[in-house]
Chain A
Amino acid sequence: EAQVTQNPRYLITVTGKKLTVTCSQNMNHEYMSWYRQDPGLGLRQIYYSMNVEVTDKGDVPEGYKVSRKEKRNFPLILESPSPNQTSLYFCASSWSRKSYNEQFFGPGTRLTVL
């Protein structure tokens, strides 16, 4: 089944404790992206990747890192999480960066930073 998977789905952590949220897609998509969803703010793009070893900042990159060593994986790294990073995170992928491509979303990761 074609899908985007994220792990973990739920995570509660404490300020300053490094964490990684994994994202994997099995559709051979070139383009992958991370968003955060906050009440009243919709979805905002954190980072995106147009292909292996090519990443770039989105609208709200502060406090996050990403890597794209393999085409299928695009982990989101929080080196020193803070409470303002408590949010719902979505990974998405599409065939390419072409703007008409539909993005496929993962199931979401709900992160709470205490």
Chain B
Amino acid sequence: AQSVSQHNHHVILSEAASLELGCNYSYGGTVNLFWYVQYPGQHFQLLLKYFSGDPLVKGIKGFEAEFIKSKFSFNLRKPSVQWSDTAEYFCAVSGGGADGLTFGKGTHLIIQP
């Protein structure tokens, strides 16, 4: 079975700081990788996804992620965060014969003004 690890459960940053959230997955075959954000009030939104091609993926709201196959990683980055980025961030993996998405446990990001 697949598993997804998100290294940071809580992250607190000041506005304009740079962000990197770690994500590692366990399956060694072909995978598709996603980052979702869940805003206060519960609404989910897809930030970006990788399924083939350029391992550096650009998403919405200035987010990007890099797929490093040799490290089984798909870390999320943003060069300068804003207060409105306060939310919970989930890394998810699909593929490897499993149906649906396997989610990490989430990272709660708080941006202080």
Contact = CB atoms under 8 A, between A and B. Distances in A.
B partners with A: yes
Interface string B87-102: 0001000110001111
Given A88-B42, A103-B101, A107-B42, A42 B51 contact: no
Contacts of A56: 99
Given A40-B105, A42-B106, A99-B94, A58 B100 contact: yes
Given A40-B105, A90-B44, A48 B49 contact: no
Contacts of B31: 99
A48 B103 contact: no
B94 A107 contact: no
A108 B100 contact: no
Contacts of B95: 99
B44 A105 contact: yes
User: DSSP class of B's interface residues: helix, strand, loop or mixed?
Assistant: strand
B105 A42 contact: yes
User: DSSP class of A's interface residues: helix, strand, loop or mixed?
Assistant: strand
Interface residues of A, number: 23
Given A31-B100, A99-B31, 11 more contacts: A33-B100, A33-B101, A35-B103, A44-B103, A56-B99, A58-B100, A97-B100, A99-B51, A100-B49, A105-B43, A108-B42
Interface of B: 9, 31-32, 34, 36, 42-44, 46, 49, 51, 90, 94-95, 99-106
12 contacts: A33-B101, A35-B103, A42-B103, A42-B104, A42-B106, A43-B90, A44-B103, A45-B101, A56-B99, A90-B44, A99-B51, A100-B32
